[in-house]
């Protein structure tokens, strides 16, 4: 009797590019959006860049994450305003996701806002934490964050 060969389990290596193509979308000014191009419903990651950096400097990282079936929204922050004002702006971007994100995505690509995560690097990490804790937002948005990721968040000098 011939023994059946087991098929090797295919692991999706997070260090390798994901299995979907990615499109950099056009969006309102000061927003960078990456999304899969295959029709479907995908989780959303809201990403805030570090102090005096720009979202485009994270292009390779954000495209890589998006290739693993995520929609990425990276707003441009300003180092010229207070952090409390920046958190208020971040809250407005979160509100925009519910009504405006769909307009900048490829056809038949849908955001799954029940799977919404927020992340940030450096000062953007502090903004992400403040936003997740509802600082600067007097009325909570109907959107709730399911995950919070800080990449070397800072809280001062």
Output 20 or 121, whichever has higher pLDDT.
121
> How is residue 113 written in tokens?
């806002």
- Model confidence at 13: pLDDT above 80: no
Quick one: average pLDDT of 137-153?
Answer: 76
Q: Tell me what pLDDT residue 7 has.
A: 40
- Give the residue from 64, 71, 74 showing the smallest Cα distance to 42: 71
Report pLDDT for 85: 85
Question: Is 157 a residue whose pLDDT tops 70?
Answer: no
**Quick check: 22 and 63 in contact, CB under 8 A?**
yes
Q: What domains are defined for the chain?
A: 22-151 (3.40.50.1820)
Q: Summarize pLDDT for 76-86 with one digit per residue, the tens.
A: 887 777 878 88
Compare 45 and 57 and report the one with higher pLDDT.
45
- SS3 label, residue 63: helix
- Across the beta sheet with 40-48, what order do the strands follow? 22-25, 31-36, 71-75, 40-48, 109-121, 145-151
Q: Mean pLDDT across the stretch 11-15?
A: 59
Q: What is the pLDDT of residue 8?
A: 41
Q: Is the pLDDT of residue 99 over 80?
A: yes
Torsion of CA 136, 142, 143, 144, to 10 degrees: 80
Question: What number of other Cβ atoms are within 10 A of residue 151's Cβ?
Answer: 17
Spell out where the chain has E strands.
Answer: 22-25, 31-36, 40-48, 71-75, 109-121, 145-151
Q: How far apart are CA 38 and CA 107, in angstroms?
A: 9
- 137 confidence band (pLDDT: 50, 70, 90): low
Please provide the distance, in angstroms rounded to a whole number, between the alpha carbons at the two ends of the chain: 71
């Amino acid at each position: 009797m011939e023994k059946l060969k087991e098929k090797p389990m295919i692991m999706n290596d997070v260090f390798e590019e994901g299995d979907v193509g990615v499109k950099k979308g056009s969006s309102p000014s000061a927003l960078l959006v990456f999304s899969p191009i295959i029709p479907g419903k995908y989780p959303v990651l809201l990403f805030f860049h570090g102090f005096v950096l720009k979202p485009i400097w994270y292009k390779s990282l954000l495209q890589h994450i998006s290739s693993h079936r995520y929609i990425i929204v990276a707003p441009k922050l300003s180092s010229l305003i207070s952090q409390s004002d920046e958190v208020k702006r971040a809250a407005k971007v979160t509100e925009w996701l519910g009504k405006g994100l769909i307009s900048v995505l490829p056809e038949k690509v849908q955001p799954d806002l029940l799977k919404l995560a927020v992340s940030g690097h450096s000062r953007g990490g502090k903004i992400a934490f403040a936003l997740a804790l509802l600082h600067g937002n007097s009325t909570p948005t109907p959107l709730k964050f399911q995950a919070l990721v800080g990449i070397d968040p800072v809280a001062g000098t």
